[in-house]
Amino acid sequence: MSISTPAPTVADGAERRAAWSLLLNVAHAIDHWVLLIFATAVSTIAADFGFARWEDLMPYATGAFFAFGLGSLPAGRLGDTWGRRPMMLAFFFGLGVSLLLVAAATGPWQIAIALTLMGVFSAIYHPVGIPMLVRDTKRPGRTIGINGLAGNLGIALAAVVTGVLVKYFGWRTAFVVPALVSIGCGLLFARLSPPEGEPPTRRKAAAAALPQAVLMRVFAVITVIATTGALLFNFTTNGNTELLRERMEGVVSDPAALGVLLALVYATASFAQLLVGHLIDRVPIRRLLLSIVAAQVPLFLLASHAQGWAFYTLIVLFMGVVFGAIPFIDAMIVRFVDDRIRSRVAGARLAVSFSISSLAVYLLGPVVKTSGFHVLLLMMAAIAVVTLAAAAWLPASATR
């Protein structure tokens, strides 16, 4: 007598989807975690490699962020034409291997090459993982908000986990641990994610949401806002460890304690994305975007003069509005771009914005070394003004 295996139920399918959707959110956390390990541990790595100042080693990370931007273009194209599932598998496993290569580096140029390779694989997530996650969702703002929260919790992980691992086990371990996490998640994703069937480019097209002229204007605004937002993101997330160390001097000096404080900043500020994602489904995009970007300018100006706990309060606030501006780009792409080409459109705007914003990583060390963090914060206030002007140009017909 044989025992038949029960057929999969709707509940089983829902649980399976929830599992691989969770892995897509975890992938976002990993993506941002690994990109900031170097910036968090740069002082220790610089000393190990014989550099007198961390600012002199920081430009060697530029390749990672340039590849993170430029690599989005082919990643997006492959996501649409080859498939998003195989591209996500390449993300998990390729990222893991490249992180192990970073951990094995013995000099500045070796680590620069390994970081650049890491940037190539990390470029896959945004143009591939997010479109895969939001396809068929009824509340894209909420989905993007949760995904953004996950990504920024990865930034918090970079601060606290890297600080602890560097202090107790050395900087190389700080790269090995996320490498193993990424490979492990890749194995789970391979098992839980369903076969994709035909790639997105072969699916039936949906009707265009806006006239071509309006779409072109929306894409222009998206590109400018994405670029200025990415500049602020790179300046802050790559510079905050040393900025906090400087502004909290005499108050907190232990590296692990500073890592915890910075992790709290990121964890607290990350909830802004959850709130914004909730509001995007209910409030006109332009009005909401203008409100958030307008708050960035005075906060950067105030932070440029602040010290101690007053600065710590301001860094929580300005990181909240920096993170809070991020969901708008993906929300507009989801709203106005057909899924068949969504990865390519996302990849194109990421290639432009992230490639340009990689200059922030290159300039961070020299600017701080020459002029100090005071000038850097004033520069970020000026960048926020540009973002505000671009947001005001968003067509009224595209804000609902």
pLDDT given at position 384:
95
Q: What would the pLDDT profile of 6-43 be if each residue is shown by its tens digit?
A: 444 545 556 777 888 899 999 999 998 998 899 888 88
CA distance linking residue 68 with residue 3, whole number of Å: 51
pLDDT given at position 11:
53
Helix-then-strand count for the chain, H and E: 17, 0
DSSP element (H, E) containing 236: helix 212-247
Mean pLDDT of the chain: 85
Kindly list the structural domains of the chain, giving each domain's residue range(s) and its CATH number in brackets, ordered by start.
15-195+208-398 (1.20.1250.20)
Positive or negative CA dihedral for 258, 263, 266, 269?
negative
Contact status, residue 109 vs residue 60, Cβ threshold 8 Å: yes
pLDDT given at position 9:
52
CA distance linking residue 175 with residue 162, whole number of Å: 8
pLDDT given at position 2:
43
Q: Which two tokens stand for residue 298?
A: 């005075």
Q: What would the pLDDT profile of 182-229 be if each residue is shown by its tens digit?
A: 999 999 999 988 777 767 666 665 555 567 777 778 888 888 998 898
Top-confidence range, 53-62, 333-342, 355-364: 53-62
Q: Which two tokens stand for residue 139?
A: 């509340």
pLDDT given at position 209:
52
Q: Indicate the SS3 state at residue 49.
A: coil
Report whether pLDDT(303) > 90: yes
pLDDT given at position 96:
97
- Rounded to 10 degrees, the C-alpha dihedral 33/97/192/21 comes to 20
Q: What would the pLDDT profile of 384-395 be if each residue is shown by its tens digit?
A: 999 999 988 887
pLDDT given at position 258:
85
